[in-house]
Chains A and B, each alone.
Chain A
Amino acid sequence: MTALPLILTVFVACAVEAVEALTIVLASGLTREWRSTFQGTAAALVVLGVVVAAIGPALTLLPLWVLRLVVGALLAIFGVQWLRKAILRAAGYKSLHDEASAYLREVAAAKSAAVTSRRGVRDWYAFTLSFKGVLLEGLEVVFIVLTFGANQHNLDAAVIGAAAAVIVVAATGIAVRAPLAKVPENAMKFAVGIMLTSFGIFWGAEGAGVAWPGNDAALLALVPVVALVSLGYTVLLRQRRPAVPVASVPHTSEEVTSS
């Protein structure tokens, strides 16, 4: 497999997470103060960098079948969870992720918190808000970079895809100074869920000892099949959905209410 599909998959997955992190950083910086916000962001990026530097090379030392079995299983589980949320959103059972409203919620919370200085940081709330936001969204990026990079023995390509996504999203955020509400985030999450699930199935089965028909070319069939099944489930759920707005659909299970 060439590096391009790897870079593109990691780029799209990381762009989605970067958009969510940017919303939190903007809410903190614009309503609190930028210096503490940048300190929190920088601290989170350092932690994430250390995680990649520590775990990345160690992963590539594992036997390939072990790596593919474990990483494939994790990716398939992780991918199906993304896909499940994306399908529930696309079918109208769960409200669409909206960066504009997420931004307003963060702004309201940031405005009501008191300003306290701690450990050389002027505004501890701004620091922790941006640190937690970037760290939590960034951990998903790290997971994707490590799993894809280690499996392809091309950690550099995965890091390039992730870094490009973070730079593009950060540059756009600085330019517009507003949450990137127009990014088709839900469609991107659907696409990422399809890619994560497909790669997870492919690598997991290989790790279990399977020889895919056509070897790597099987992925070219697997990705469209996963996409078709997901779209099929979306259509089925849309047809079954009661004719009420999303906001008034009864919250019958934990997943319908979680974001």
Chain B
Amino acid sequence: MGELAAFLILSALILIPAVIVVTSRNIVRAALSLVPTFLGVTGFYIMLQAEFVAGIQVLIYAGAITVLILFVIMLTEGGSGTMVRQVTGQVPLGAMAAIWLAFLILVVLSRTTWPTARGQLPQYSVQAIGTAFLTNYVLIFEVTSLVLLISLVGAIVIARREE
């Protein structure tokens, strides 16, 4: 009962700002609305007792990525406060596509039998995660550093070309 209430509150915290992000005509407000969304997801991680992931979510998403997005917005046209028209002339077509997709998803969701997990929640503690990626998932861990390197190099190349 308590879990359901928490889930509903967190969902509202996630979905309402998300709608604002997509529909707001003020880009900076849209970007700032991302923060409550991220914090709501943090709440979900807490409910799953994945504390480390929750901490990372706040640190990276709310702390770093939002800042990056805000930097870009404030330094380009969007920062001048011009109102962006988010709704184009293709509303009827888009609405139809959305309704059909929603219908499809609902049908699939209601017809799937969801297996309920039995037993203990898997361990998401920091120690468990650390041990996991240093022993079982070492290769993935090292490849991640390569992914980070490539993204860094790629982004610098693109950004420098804009000069």
User: A and B bound?
Assistant: no
A residues lining the B interface (CB < 8 Å): none
B residues lining the A interface (CB < 8 Å): none
